A and B are shown apart, each in its own frame.
Chain A
């Protein structure tokens, strides 16, 4: 009874943690409260449940801490999304393992819960590993559709369902292991066709999946805390996924399965297309004598660790009486809100960060749009070309500014692997090179004016 009471307190902590994380003021306190609830629940479970193997359990917890804490501490802010994906994946794997270890010939509902935990948990595990590989750019970030992709995916789904039904009927642990393997394949098949820029949405959905797997494992163990906490994460994660998809301006089904249905992007002829490349001095003059400038930072800025250089340049321009603002796209970086985190790290004042609706209406009177390491979020194709894979995603209409400066390492397309018409626009000046390097040179050049 007292254990149940502790679980209730822990569940309340989790609930308040999620509530706190939804408001800027209480976000950090909420996270700490969640951690406190977790500690309470884990200690209680250990004291009451670890009848055997107590020493080994402590060793496993110590090992997990030794791996988890340094990984979370040392990860660069730019690599946070793939770290979250990994943590999510191991959580899913843990749920599947719990159900595998606990499987026996129980009542039907018990078997249903076991099958769900194993299936969803293993999908979440392998799916998360693929999202990690995509974000880490270990593998291609483009949507991967195998030659017989659709047939293959349907095949895996069918086999998984058949195996699930077979386990329900026969209670065979061998078949349950086979179901685990099928689940792992299903996770891979599910995430492969998702394109680079959409991967965060897939992570968010897999996060909700792990929550559901944990909830299902709560039925397996008849443990209310697991049911409540897992369901909270499953439900809030599903809603969060939908909100993220809305921020991208596209329905969820299009993001997940778009690669199967999308007509191949129109191949543009191999004719030579001219790009205007400028010198640092050209750009310095353009910026130094402008009245209004909008800076659109992207992942490239973060990778080059150029946040501080960007902030210095903005301060310098403001000193010359120029109106400067940062245009922060909801999905700039690798995840919604990621760019806000990165710029906050560089002490950019919160008030200078402007959203789409603040910037776009005044874009036509903007003298210069300085795009630093961003690409997809300013691609006019998302607005004008229905055949574009990112069609429908809201963008900064920088092509409507009087002049555009693109700071880019190369002509390589962005993370989503889509060509950008804007690069060939007559208004556009390209400044090739590492973002930090270019910004530092630009800073010196503007000072010379």
Chain B
């Protein structure tokens, strides 16, 4: 459990560091990209559904898989569309 906490603390620092110098015009795409990344809950949803025993677990798990997939694919596609607009107008 301490190992996991260590990972958490380190990741938090990296997370702060990595976006510390972002320009205003990229706030929206960055938020949207981060939004797609937390769709990684899809991995968790697949794992619990794959190991589910009761019908309730399967139902909840599949619903989670569905919602997480919407989060992931929608998130990446919408971010890409936004960034496409900047094409050719780079500094």
* One of B7, B14, B36, B51 near A38 (C-beta < 8 A): B36
User: Are B15 and A18 neighbours in the complex by a CB distance under 8 Å?
Assistant: yes
Chain B residues closer than 8 Å to A433, beta-carbon distance: none
Q: How far is the CA of A421 from the CA of B82 in the complex (A)?
A: 35
User: Are A235 and B69 neighbours in the complex by a CB distance under 8 Å?
Assistant: no
Q: How far is the CA of A226 from the CA of B7 in the complex (A)?
A: 11
Chain B residues closer than 8 Å to A166, beta-carbon distance: none
Tell whether A159 is near chain B: CB-to-CB under 8 Å. Answer: no
User: Are B48 and A98 neighbours in the complex by a CB distance under 8 Å?
Assistant: yes
Q: How far is the CA of A56 from the CA of B48 in the complex (A)?
A: 13
User: Are B14 and A77 neighbours in the complex by a CB distance under 8 Å?
Assistant: no
Question: Which B residues from 25 to 64 make CB contacts under 8 A with A?
Answer: 25-52, 56-58, 60-64
User: Are B7 and A227 neighbours in the complex by a CB distance under 8 Å?
Assistant: yes
Question: Which A residues from 1 to 55 make CB contacts under 8 A with B?
Answer: 10, 14-15, 17-19, 21-25, 27-28, 30-32, 34-35, 38, 41-42, 45-46, 49-54
Tell whether A197 is near chain B: CB-to-CB under 8 Å. Answer: no
* B contact residues, total (Cβ < 8 Å): 79
Q: How far is the CA of A435 from the CA of B40 in the complex (A)?
A: 42
User: Are A68 and B73 neighbours in the complex by a CB distance under 8 Å?
Assistant: yes
* One of A18, A42, A57, A93 near B34 (C-beta < 8 A): A18
Chain A residues closer than 8 Å to B90, beta-carbon distance: 24-25, 350
Secondary structure at chain A's binding surface: helix, strand, loop or mixed? helix
The residue in chain A whose Cβ has the minimal distance to the Cβ of B12 is A235
Q: Mark B57-80, 1 if CB is under 8 A from A, else 0.
A: 110111111111111111111111
Among A78-86, A256-264, A362-370, A383-391, the stretch in contact with B: A78-86
User: Are A240 and B60 neighbours in the complex by a CB distance under 8 Å?
Assistant: no
Tell whether A72 is near chain B: CB-to-CB under 8 Å. Answer: yes
The residue in chain A whose Cβ has the minimal distance to the Cβ of B82 is A341
How big is the A interface, by class? 35 or more
With A68-B72, A101-B57 in contact, do A231 and B19 touch (Cβ < 8 Å)? no
User: Are B64 and A94 neighbours in the complex by a CB distance under 8 Å?
Assistant: yes
* One of A21, A50, A211 near B50 (C-beta < 8 A): A50
Tell whether A247 is near chain B: CB-to-CB under 8 Å. Answer: yes
User: Are A87 and B56 neighbours in the complex by a CB distance under 8 Å?
Assistant: no
Secondary structure at chain B's binding surface: helix, strand, loop or mixed? helix
Q: How far is the CA of A75 from the CA of B78 in the complex (A)?
A: 8
Chain A residues closer than 8 Å to B46, beta-carbon distance: 42, 45-46, 49-50, 57
Chain B residues closer than 8 Å to A28, beta-carbon distance: 80, 83-84, 86-87
* One of A49, A65, A335 near B73 (C-beta < 8 A): A65
With A57-B46, A80-B28 in contact, do A344 and B7 touch (Cβ < 8 Å)? no
Question: Which A residues from 83 to 103 make CB contacts under 8 A with B?
Answer: 83-84, 86-88, 90-91, 93-95, 97-98, 100-102
Q: How far is the CA of A180 from the CA of B27 in the complex (A)?
A: 31
Q: How far is the CA of A109 from the CA of B21 in the complex (A)?
A: 35
Q: How far is the CA of A210 from the CA of B38 in the complex (A)?
A: 7
User: Are B60 and A97 neighbours in the complex by a CB distance under 8 Å?
Assistant: yes
User: Are A52 and B50 neighbours in the complex by a CB distance under 8 Å?
Assistant: yes
User: Are A68 and B74 neighbours in the complex by a CB distance under 8 Å?
Assistant: yes
Q: How far is the CA of A64 from the CA of B27 in the complex (A)?
A: 26
User: Are A204 and B72 neighbours in the complex by a CB distance under 8 Å?
Assistant: no
Q: Contact residues of A with B, CB < 8 Å?
A: 10, 14-15, 17-19, 21-25, 27-28, 30-32, 34-35, 38, 41-42, 45-46, 49-54, 56-57, 59-61, 63-65, 67-69, 71-73, 75, 77, 80-81, 83-84, 86-88, 90-91, 93-95, 97-98, 100-102, 109, 203-204, 207, 210-211, 213-215, 217-240, 243-244, 247, 330, 335-338, 340-341, 344-345, 349-350, 355
Interface pairs (30), CB distance under 8 Å:
A25-B90, A32-B80, A38-B42, A42-B46, A42-B72, A50-B50, A53-B52, A60-B62, A61-B65, A75-B78, A83-B74, A83-B78, A84-B28, A87-B78, A97-B61, A101-B52, A101-B57, A211-B37, A211-B38, A221-B44, A223-B47, A226-B41, A228-B11, A229-B38, A232-B11, A232-B15, A232-B37, A234-B15, A240-B34, A337-B26
Closest 9 CB pairs of A and B: A64-B69, A235-B15, A68-B74, A231-B11, A72-B77, A91-B71, A50-B50, A101-B60, A336-B27
